[in-house]
Structure 1
């Protein structure tokens, strides 16, 4: 708490810097680019752990079911490469980042492009002229001609704070246990964008909520979000699968009751998974690593000594080639039946 108080003046400066930056964009002093291809942005106001990757997966499933060609644009956080890269069947997590790799392995029929510049990535996908508030020429670089056919829809992963590109539709996520209105600005807290930006989202989703959620607590929570009148807000909860998934077999969760298990995580917030496994009766030994951690050979050799390891899907795609006794527990966002219908109805038609 003392450290937070010491950092508080820096957080105030950071918050004012954000307001000035957004004001410049709002006044047109800094230009945003609008692309012809429909775009949906999934983002948050804070650093990590709100469930962006499961939300991207949910949107991919939904729009694939409508017969659309989907592309995802991501920064590829934590990758060992630079520049613009489009994923292919030979791509690795170190080349495109662990979360894009997870998404691409799950949905190989989509196009996955990683680049620090979302504008450059979109120009690559369209591979043609685009229009916007400002007309800019984007250099694609060698061997990046964008020869594949353009997608029907592009999902912008973690791009809410990137004003250089203007998405047609924004989904903002915040967690129930640590909503943005209880957070501090960097460096005292984890807020990286201004709280007032919540009003710019077409949809707000409160993730990792209790299920069921108390109606009075729901209304109190919504009032503190400081939304526009009639701005849609939905509460989602984590839905864990009933089986563990491995390379060669599936295991029922029922078999974990009373069992000692090893859980390996390299994600921003593993606590909900730990709580869930404990709630079903498992005795959890948790080996916790930093988010986006790439495991060293010595760490992998250490993990190989265990008979069975449970991990997240993101860690599974990085480790399963090296550790055959690895299993992951699938997880997704789920809504109450009423919220589910309203959420999908709120999504844009493409």
Structure 2
């Protein structure tokens, strides 16, 4: 499993981590004591988040919930819209760009345009605005994307994600490790999902992982797996890869996500020759970056060649003014989703649906 990360860091970071931990502890205590107020809303609010910075798969898990619920309820997703160019509250429309609402909200909304997609750093304000919509448009269920630490909203149900390759109980607080808050923060979760679980995990390893988390009796644990769909063209999801990859073909794998290891590993499963260009998470591709991508692509030697990127990066490249139409025609992306085992899928789905039904029944009795 993941290695003990503390040995990778020099001792002088520990005082900063200690001070950071004190600050987070005091903040959480203020909420726990009721000095800082958490707002409760009259609809089910399901929060998806994590304790660590970086990619644990929040967006595909939110998308899973959207697929589960969208045909049964009016759904709204609320996100802060990380690294967007706009400010304040925005209710997404098809006219909004990736830069205006953020790459993750853009991805979710364009896959599921029938839902409400709101971005606002102030989640309470966003939910208030959504609930002020006419009754025929008002959401019946709200999904909070990456809001585990946004405690001004009191979720009706909290889902905590943790990457199997870097479990929260093996991690440390920033800046020594990648934890945003102490391990004790997991106590606020109603369910924990171990993400990016290897398919070949042995039953004993499942049990060891659950034991090491030391969760409360009421907290349910699930294990999810990454699924990759067929390769899609940047210009059209219906346009297929025009050739079957062989060792004579080449691909430039371009990614700007928090953890590109799984993406690169999936790309390398094919026979083609692979070159990598790795950028930082939520990377804003500038003119110099596009020039680097273009030059690297031109240097590839192969009978056929393409640029292959992640689903999240695809949105930023599609709307990038420095990417020529000719280059766009060479860019493809690898869609991602998550799955559970058949047994866990039924259990997880029923847990979510039962929570919403129970919430609505209790609301009637208020």
Q: TM-score, normalised by structure 2?
A: 0.85
Q: Which residue pairs with 2:268 in the alignment?
A: 278
Q: How does 1:172-187 map to 2 (within 5 A)?
A: 172-187=160-175
The unaligned stretches of length 5 or more in structure 2 are 1-6, 298-304, 358-366
Residues 257, 193 of structure 1: alpha-carbon distance in 2 compared, 3 angstrom cutoff: farther
1:245–1:330: 8 Å Cα contact kept in structure 2? no
Selected match of 2:121 from 91, 96, 116: 116
Deviation for aligned residue 1:257: 5.3
The unaligned stretches of length 5 or more in structure 1 are 129-145
Residues 314, 253 of structure 1: alpha-carbon distance in 2 compared, 3 angstrom cutoff: farther
Q: Which residue pairs with 2:289 in the alignment?
A: 299
Q: Which residue pairs with 2:356 in the alignment?
A: 349
Mapped partners of 1:104, 1:300: distance in 2: 26
- 1:101 corresponds to 2:91: no
Deviations along 1:150-184, one digit per CA (max 9) or x if unpaired, are 11111100001111110101111000000111111
- 1:255 corresponds to 2:245: yes
Mapped partners of 2:135, 2:92: distance in 1: 14
Residues 2, 245 of structure 1: alpha-carbon distance in 2 compared, 3 angstrom cutoff: closer
Q: Which residue pairs with 1:82 in the alignment?
A: 87
2:231–2:332: 8 Å Cα contact kept in structure 1? no
Selected match of 2:200 from 206, 209, 212: 212
- 1:320 corresponds to 2:318: yes
Mapped partners of 2:267, 2:224: distance in 1: 19
SS in 1 for 2:267: helix
SS in 1 for 2:104: helix
- 1:61 corresponds to 2:67: yes
Residues 39, 118 of structure 1: alpha-carbon distance in 2 compared, 3 angstrom cutoff: same
Mapped partners of 1:252, 1:327: distance in 2: 11
1:47–1:191: 8 Å Cα contact kept in structure 2? yes
Deviations along 1:86-145, one digit per CA (max 9) or x if unpaired, are 1111101111111111111111111111111111111111128xxxxxxxxxxxxxxxxx
Deviation for aligned residue 1:277: 1.6
Residues 256, 40 of structure 1: alpha-carbon distance in 2 compared, 3 angstrom cutoff: farther
Mapped partners of 1:324, 1:147: distance in 2: 43
Deviation for aligned residue 1:79: 0.8
Equivalenced residues, count? 332
Q: Which residue pairs with 2:158 in the alignment?
A: 170
Deviation for aligned residue 1:258: 5.7
Selected match of 1:150 from 114, 138, 142: 138
Deviation for aligned residue 1:302: 4.0
Mapped partners of 1:121, 1:89: distance in 2: 19
Deviation for aligned residue 1:74: 0.4
CA RMSD of aligned residues (A): 2.0
2:190–2:218: 8 Å Cα contact kept in structure 1? no
SS in 2 for 1:34: coil
Deviations along 1:231-251, one digit per CA (max 9) or x if unpaired, are 210111111124444424112
Selected match of 2:306 from 300, 305, 308: 308
Mapped partners of 1:28, 1:257: distance in 2: 62
SS in 1 for 2:222: strand
Residues 203, 3 of structure 1: alpha-carbon distance in 2 compared, 3 angstrom cutoff: closer
